[in-house]
Amino acid sequence: MATTTQRSGFNNPAATAEAAKSTASNMGEATRNAASAVAEKAAEAAKYVGRQADDATMAMGAGMKNLAGTIREKGPHEGVLASAGGAVADTLETSGKYLEQHGLSGIGEDMTNLIRRNPIPAVLIGIAVGYLISRATRS
């Protein structure tokens, strides 16, 4: 009778250990698969959000160009106001073209390059902005 109990695996430590290893291995594989699926979904979501942000940035650029055209059409055509309106329209149009062509990724790259070329002014500007934010939130 003792041999029957040992063969069933309940009192056999080797069989119990093997079953535990198998279960742990299966659980580990399931966990890796779940983590991989979650990471994949997060990457897809990040790509989607990035595309949406780039699309919104390009739409904003187009809107800025349209506003520049409207200012040129409906603004004064002579005098100081015409010069100021023309300068504003030129700036809007240039900025709109930049946003349409480069999007957010281009802005990030340009900012990175600007900071690399001018590290000390960038740090000083960061300190000044931090100071102003702290003053504004202190009151």
pTM over 0.75: no
> Two tokens at 15?
């069989």
Domain count, the chain: 1
Say if CB 71 and CB 92 are below 8 A apart: yes
Report pLDDT digits (tens) over 40-88: 888 888 888 888 888 888 889 899 999 999 998 988 888 888 889 899 9
How many residues would you count in the chain?
Answer: 139
> Two tokens at 64?
């800025």
State the pLDDT at residue 139: 67
Can you give the residue range of the structural domain that contains 95?
Answer: 2-138
